[in-house]
């Protein structure tokens, strides 16, 4: 069930649906220190979810959460919470420790967001073995190991969301390794939905397009590159992390209880433009 909330808290702003059934649930968000991950963690907490945000840079992560509290962006009258924890998602053992911490701290695990990712801009002739290993280690291994950790800790069902990309469906020059890693995420989303369905676990993906985050600063700072990027977006504008969060929020809610194995594009039409 959803209701409309007119507050201005991030993740619950004007016209953004509120899902009361999410209050008290427990979520893990990887790559939560910056950008979309930080938006997801705060947005879920403002829905009443107990969120464990993980990132390789725990200092930045903790500062992000502390700043949100100090600035009043975490609803003071809500039931949600934010907990910071260091984790390298390319390491299976560390992800399992996060899942165990969620169970130990809150007694349950309901939502797992495989958001952590790295972006490599390099043509196939110039990409290094280290760049390939790092890209697939975070973008693909992190999803596989994250799903293993989540499925082992969820009891009676749950939701896993994998962050893919428009690059999984529409490739461009100079990013073959990144595109391949995100295509793998899309494929994994379908496979995991089939494998985990009998445990009551839904698995879906979100595929953002051109979104206003630190990862796209190099484009925004170059007028020519910005114009070229926007020319590929039928809606003609850059997206926001909050718009991606709205899609994710629907998919983790009970309103999407019969949706699994899908990858939802949040790209202004870029996949088809």
Q: Which residues are catalytic?
A: 178
- 265 within 8 A of 182, measured Cβ to Cβ: no
CA distance 18 to 180: 35
113 DSSP β-pair partners = 29, 161
Which ranges constitute the DSSP H helices of 197-267?
217-220, 223-230, 241-252
- 23 within 8 A of 82, measured Cβ to Cβ: no
- 106 within 8 A of 85, measured Cβ to Cβ: no
Q: How many residues does the chain have?
A: 273
- 161 within 8 A of 266, measured Cβ to Cβ: no
- Beta-carbon-side half-sphere exposure of residue 246 (alpha carbons within 13 Å): 14
């Amino acid at each position: 069930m959803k209701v409309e909330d007119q507050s201005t808290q991030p993740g619950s702003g004007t016209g953004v649906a509120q899902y009361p059934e999410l209050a008290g649930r427990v979520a893990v968000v990887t790559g939560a220190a910056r950008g979309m991950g930080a938006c997801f963690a705060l947005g879920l907490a403002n829905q009443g979810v107990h969120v464990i945000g993980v990132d390789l840079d725990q200092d930045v992560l903790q500062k992000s959460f502390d700043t949100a509290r100090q600035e009043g962006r975490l609803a003071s009258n809500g039931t949600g919470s934010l907990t910071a924890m260091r984790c390298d998602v390319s390491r299976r053992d560390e992800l399992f420790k996060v899942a165990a911490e969620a169970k130990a701290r809150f007694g349950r695990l309901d939502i797992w967001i495989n958001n952590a990712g790295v972006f490599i801009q390099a043509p196939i002739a110039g990409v290094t073995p280290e760049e390939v290993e790092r890209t697939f280690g975070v973008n693909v291994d992190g999803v596989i190991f994250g799903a293993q950790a989540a499925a082992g800790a969820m009891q009676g069902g749950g939701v896993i969301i994998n962050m893919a990309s428009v690059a999984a469906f529409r490739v461009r020059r100079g990013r073959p390794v990144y595109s391949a890693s995100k295509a793998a995420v899309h494929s994994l989303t379908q496979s995991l939905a089939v494998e985990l369905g009998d445990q009551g676990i839904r698995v879906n993906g979100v595929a953002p397009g051109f979104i206003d985050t630190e990862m796209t600063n190099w484009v925004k700072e170059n007028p020519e590159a910005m114009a070229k990027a926007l020319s590929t977006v039928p809606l003609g504008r850059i997206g926001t992390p909050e718009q991606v969060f709205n899609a994710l929020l629907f998919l983790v809610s009970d309103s999407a209880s019969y949706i699994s194995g899908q990858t939802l594009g949040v790209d202004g039409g870029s996949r088809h433009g």
